[in-house]
Amino acid sequence: MLMDQKWQRSRLASEVAVTSLVTVLFFLFTLFSAALLGGCAGRTQDVNELAGVAKRVDALELKVGNVQDTLFNGGQVSLLAIQPAFAETMRRYADRFADMFFAAKNGNWALAAYMDRRMREAVASLRVTRPRDWSAVNSFHRTSLDPLLAATAKMDFAAFQSQYAKTIVTCNSCHAAMGFSYVMFVQPTQPAQPNLNYTAKTKATDFKEFLPPGTP
């Protein structure tokens, strides 16, 4: 009788141990499954989000195109194709450069500063549309246009005229390096826009948007 009781207690202890082990294993399996399913769900969500972004990008490119010749309203047109020709941009730039000289020569320093600002604005879009050209233009501004603006700020025409000649030389050297050695500028003999009053006596700072040399 005593032996039966001991055996029953031993059997009960074994059953409890086995039950506990099974419970622990089941709990671990549940955690692992949840983590696995959660990871899959997360990856699925990521894939779905990326697919959604791709669809929106495709829809946008169909409307506006991009520089890689994507479709634009069914036609093979890119953003680059609708930009003004670089030569046209530089023509506006050159006209303001000529007008700047006559403004400075006649003491209308505010107009000279105004032309400097409009020159920089004429090529500002190159930073986005033609980054390689923008790098060369920006370098030209630092080395040749900024000193011209410094002379404008001082209202010193002798310094301005000297720097203007140097700026023309640098400009022509740049053209030659780009394969346009036949596009050579000289000191202008008349302004590009003759119907402006170049003789009004002003200070550079009368131009309210005046920015010191070195300002982007």
Q: Is residue 136 part of a domain?
A: yes
Same domain, yes or no, for 62 and 87?
no
What was the pLDDT predicted at 126? 83
Same domain, yes or no, for 56 and 89?
no
Same domain, yes or no, for 67 and 89?
no
As a whole number of Å, the CA-based R_g of the chain is 37
What was the pLDDT predicted at 41? 52
pTM: 0.63
Q: Is residue 214 part of a domain?
A: no
Same domain, yes or no, for 93 and 195?
yes
Count of domains forming the chain: 2
Same domain, yes or no, for 103 and 124?
yes
Q: How far is Cα 155 from Cα 165, in angstroms, rounded to an integer?
A: 17
Query: Residue 76 contacts by C-beta under 8 Å, 6 or more apart in sequence?
Result: 69
> Which tokens in the block code for residue 18?
């086995």
Same domain, yes or no, for 10 and 28?
yes
E strand or H helix at 216, and its extent? none
Q: Is residue 216 part of a domain?
A: no
Same domain, yes or no, for 107 and 131?
yes
Q: Is residue 186 part of a domain?
A: yes
Q: What is the DSSP string of 177-193?
A: HTT-TT------SS-SS
Same domain, yes or no, for 88 and 194?
yes
Last residue of a domain, one of 32, 57, 76: 76
Last residue of a domain, one of 25, 41, 76: 76
Same domain, yes or no, for 9 and 88?
no
Q: Is residue 41 part of a domain?
A: yes
Same domain, yes or no, for 46 and 92?
no
CB 157 within 8 A of CB 105: yes
Query: Residue 165 contacts by C-beta under 8 Å, 6 or more apart in sequence?
Result: 187
Last residue of a domain, one of 17, 48, 76: 76
Write out the residue range of the structural domain in which residue 12 sits. Answer: 2-76
Q: Is residue 13 part of a domain?
A: yes
What was the pLDDT predicted at 12? 43
Same domain, yes or no, for 122 and 184?
yes
Q: Is residue 215 part of a domain?
A: no
Which residue positions in the chain have pLDDT lower than 50?
1-22, 24-25, 27, 67, 70
E strand or H helix at 156, and its extent? none
Phi, psi of 18, rounded to the nearest 5 degrees: -65, -45
32-65 confidence digits (pLDDT tens): 555 555 555 555 666 677 777 777 766 665 555 5
Same domain, yes or no, for 193 and 104?
yes
Query: In angstroms, what CA-CA distances link 52 with 43, 47, 148?
Result: 14, 9, 52
